[in-house]
Structure formats: C-alpha cells, structure tokens
Structure 1
C-alpha cells in the first residue's frame, strides 16, 4: 500500500492498522506490536489506546495474557477495511495496467 503511506505518511497508527488488515486473524500483545513495528513501548501503547477507544481494536484475555486483535464487528472497522480494500484494488489495477502497457511497448 505504497500510495496510502505516501498520502498518510508512515504513522504508527497506519502501521498497526495495516498489520491487522493484512492478517485479520493476527493477535498479539503490546510487546509483540513493539517488536513488529520497531517503535517504543510507550508509543505503541498510546496508539493502541487510540485504536481501542475508537473500537478498531479490542483486547481479549487469553489465559493470563491480554492480547489485542481487530474488532471486525465495529462499523468503523468495517468501513476502514472497505476503504483499504478499495485502495488496494486501485493500486493493483494500476499495476496491472502498467504491466500491460510495458508489454505493448516491447
């Protein structure tokens, strides 16, 4: 999703949202997210708090651990996934058209 990153920047919010978008079954804790993003524990905790407050993510108890996962039941999450799907489809379509154009030029 290069275009999305160029439009919205390389924010930690976007980075975390894309982790969950690219693997809807993905779940982890704050420590796991810090490892995946390479960002500080404090930064990740703030971003996760924002996304929990918006109900994009939700926390679930698994044994003694609290894990974070995508809240696919939330209408905002559904709209966000639709938006990301649309961007992804446009990007793939443009890549496909570019390949066809390149082949015609050869």
Structure 2
C-alpha cells in the first residue's frame, strides 16, 4: 500500500490520478491506463470523466475514435495535486 492509499484508501479514481501523475510528461490512452493500473477500460472511462470536467486532466482527440489524456499542468489545481503527491510520498512510506 502506498502513501496515498494509506490516507485516502484505494479507489479507481485515485489509481488513475496516480498513474497520470507518474506519467505526467506523456499523453496516454484509456487502454494504456487500464493496462498499467489493472483497472477495466470501463472503470477508467468512468473515473477519468470527473478529472476532465474539473480541468485536472486534458483530453485530446486523436482521429475519430481515439482520445489521449494527460495532466493539465497549466492550471494551479493540478500543480497543487502533484506537489502534494510528491511531498506525501516523501513523508509517508
């Protein structure tokens, strides 16, 4: 169990957010997130929607059916989340 799970519990949305933080420099796909996290494609799709609506995650279409996702580091909220994630991992292990 990692430090974020110790504090907030293990949820699909937290798992997806952690994956995006750990891979923040690279855009990814729903299937890539699902594969890396062990979550189903439908679970990732369901929990990424609120992250997109909040602006924390940026969605970009790639063709007609493919969408890519990446953290939106242009907004302060995302940077606060990343900073918190990094600091909490240093403190709690």
- The question of a shared fold, defined as TM-score above 0.5 by the shorter chain, is answered with yes
Q: Which secondary structure does the structure 2 equivalent of 1:24 belong to? A: coil
How many residue pairs align between the two structures? Answer: 91
Q: Which has the larger radius of gyration?
A: 1
Where does the alignment leave 5 or more consecutive residues of structure 1 unmatched?
96-106
Listed one character per residue, the Cα deviations across residues 11-32 of structure 1 (whole Å, up to 9, x for unaligned) are: 1111111112122213211122
| In 2: Cα distance, 1:43 partner to 1:72 partner | 24
User: TM-score when scaled to structure 2?
Assistant: 0.83
Query: Which position in structure 1 is the counterpart of 2:27?
Result: 27
Q: Which structure would you say has the larger RCO, counting Cα contacts within 8 Å and 6 or more residues apart?
A: 2
Higher helix share: 1
User: TM-score when scaled to structure 1?
Assistant: 0.74
Query: Which position in structure 2 is the counterpart of 1:81?
Result: 82
Where does structure 1 differ by over 3 angstroms across 4 or more consecutive aligned residues? none
RMSD: 1.8
